[in-house]
Structures are given as C-alpha cells and as structure tokens.
Amino acid sequence: MTAHSPPSPEQALADFSPGLPFAVALSGGADSVAMVLACTKRWPGQVRAVHIHHGLQSAAEDFESHCQSVCAQLGVPLAVRRVQANNASGQSPEDAARQARYKALSEAVHTEWPEVRDVVLAQHADDQVETLLIALSRGAGLPGLASMPAHWHRQGLIWHRPWLSVPGAALREWLQSQGQAWIEDPSNSDQKFTRNRIRFQVLPALAEALPAFRDTFARSAAHAAQAQEVLNEVAAQDLAVVGVPPRIQALQQLSRARQALVLRHWLRQNHVTTPSTAQMNELLGQIEACTTRGHRLQLKVGLGFIERAGEYLTWHSA
C-alpha cells in the first residue's frame, strides 16, 4: 500500500482480528456508524454497540435515536449509558468527558456482555494527525507525540483503533456508497475548537504541501511510542529502586532527567495524575534542595499536592 493510496475501510479491517464477540463505541457520527456497518458485514452476529449519551448539546437525543435505528437495522445489540462529566479543578472539560466516556463504556460492556473482552473505536488517520499537531502545539513530550495507540489494555478490556491509517473522507465516501446515513455533530464545524481549526485550515494545506503527511506523521508517532515504551521500562526499574512512595535520597542519586521520568511514572501509575512541565521543574528543584531534615516541601502537582513526609515524597488529591 503506497502513501498515496491509503487502505479502504474494509481493507483496513482485513488485518484486524478482535476476539469474538466484540463491542463498538457508537456515537452516531459518520466514523462510528461506518465502523459498526463494516464490522457487521465482516463478522455478522458478533458485534455489540455502546452509545454514550453526554447530554452536552441539544442534538444528543438525535444521536441516540439514530444509534437505535442503525442497530435495529443491522441486528446489533445496543447498550446506552448516560453520563454527567464534571471536570475537577485543573482538569479540562474535554478530559473529564473522555474519562467519563471510557468508564461508562467499560461498565456497559462488563455489565451487558461479560463474555466481551475487546472494544473497537473508530478514530481514523485525520484524528491521529490532529492529535499529534495538538500535542506539538502544547509542547508535549513523547507520550503526547506518540498520539493515539492502535491497541492498549484498560479496565479489564482490550481496546482497538483499526482505522488509524484510513482518512476520514474515505469513511464518508464508503458510507455514502453503502447508502448509510449518519448524524453530523454540530460542534464539528465550530472553529473555536483547536481540533476543528486544524481539520478545516491545516489539513488541507498539509495535503497540498505534503501529500504523504498522514503516513509520515503516523510513522513519527509510532517512533515516539516505541521510544516511550523503552522509557517506561527504565522508569519502572528506577521506581523499584527508589520505592513507593519515593525516597528522596534515592531520587537524588539519579540524574535530573531520570528523576523527572520516574516521578512522572509514579504519579501516573499510582495516582493517575500528570504534572505540568513547570510543576515538575519546581519539584526537581525542591528535591535537590532537600539536604536537611527540616526542609519542608509542599507543591501543587497535577490534580493534587506533593509533600515531604520524613524521607519520602507523598501525594494527595486536592
């Protein structure tokens, strides 16, 4: 497959082998409707669908109704869950909605179909490029530049994105060829959102200047993901040495870069929070200054605070 001829939706599923049966996250938009339709064609009787009703816009009821219609037409069992995503202090509404969505998806699958272990999401090549460009615009490190993984484990399930090499336009063209309708999210055209500005202003310019950008950007994201895997292994090894909670003196034996690496790993793995660059720099400076028993330390980090407790660092939520 050349860079100028990306795979069709059906071709991209040809190399995909989920455990059967499996569930598809169905929003009612073009991408997820295409996923349910294509999966049903390939694995008839093996597809389940989950729709998350956020209630964030007036079109939410239309999305739910359309999902019910599509699933009835295809003979696909559908579970609907309603969520209210309230963002915590320091957390973006988008992140809160994403966390609530994954939690509701997991709960629905475990409850409705205990035999299901695989969940399929419909993000595509344009979504991946947008994610990478947003990460670059925010000065992200390797985890951000790695963008969206094609496979990962979370909450007892295996999650898949088999269409990360398929352009969004190809999905809509395929849906139209199948005579299948979808609901267009009104917020998708609102350019006050960074992702939409990238979609409407940046991607067309990239397509003209760098025709193979989807392939090459995806390759860069994959390289970043591979490098991050190595760093995760190093961080896990260092954390085993410094301990949980981390011992300050053991941290001080590491280089500043490895201190940052192991601290981010500790916070992510044990407290599901991520410090900003400024917070991490301040924390590293405080750790360096911890040369006496009387040195106190309390810093806002992620969604909580890091404090010194004797020879250790502890974290608690705000």
**Total-model pTM:** 0.85
Torsional sign, CA 246, 252, 254, 260: positive
Q: Is 64 helix (H, G, I), strand (E, B) or coil?
A: helix
- Over residues 207-231, the pLDDT tens digits come to 999 999 999 998 999 999 999 999 9
Looking at residue 247, the DSSP 8-state letter turns out to be B
Using the predicted structure, report yes or no on whether residue 138 has a pLDDT greater than 70. yes
Domains with residue ranges and CATH for the chain: 9-213 (3.40.50.620), 243-317 (3.30.465)
Question: pLDDT band for position 85 (50/70/90)?
Answer: low
- Give the separation between CA 246 and CA 18, rounded to whole angstroms: 39
Q: Characterize 246-274 residue by residue with b for buried, 16 or more Cβ atoms within 10 angstroms of its Cβ, and e for exposed.
A: bbbebbeebeeebbbbbbbbbbbeebebe
* Two tokens, residue 109: 């699958």
Using the predicted structure, report yes or no on whether residue 96 has a pLDDT greater than 80. no
Q: Which whole number is the average pLDDT over 30-40?
A: 97
- Of 93, 108, 119, nearest in space to 32 by CA: 119
Q: What is the pLDDT of residue 224?
A: 94
Cβ-Cβ contacts under 8 Å for 212 (sequence gap 6 or more): 3, 4
DSSP H helices, the chain, are: 9-14, 30-42, 60-74, 93-112, 125-137, 142-145, 168-177, 194-197, 203-209, 213-242, 248-252, 256-271, 277-289
- Greater confidence, 107 or 297? 107
**Angle between helices 168-177 and 30-42 in degrees, nearest 10:** 60
Using the predicted structure, report yes or no on whether residue 2 has a pLDDT greater than 80. no
**Angle between helices 125-137 and 213-242 in degrees, nearest 10:** 60
Question: pLDDT band for position 36 (50/70/90)?
Answer: very high
- Of 136, 140, 146, 156, nearest in space to 274 by CA: 140
- Give the separation between CA 123 and CA 148, rounded to whole angstroms: 9
Dihedral angle, C-alpha 225, 230, 236, 240, nearest 10 °: -170
The mean pLDDT value of the chain amounts to 91
Q: What is the pLDDT of residue 300?
A: 92
Question: pLDDT band for position 59 (50/70/90)?
Answer: low
| Angle CA 44–46–49, to nearest 5 | 105
- Of 195, 214, 227, 51, nearest in space to 122 by CA: 51
- Over residues 145-184, the pLDDT tens digits come to 999 999 999 999 999 999 999 999 999 999 999 999 998 8
* Residue pair 147/135 in contact by the 8 Å Cβ criterion: yes
- Give the separation between CA 311 and CA 295, rounded to whole angstroms: 11
| Type of residue at 156 | G
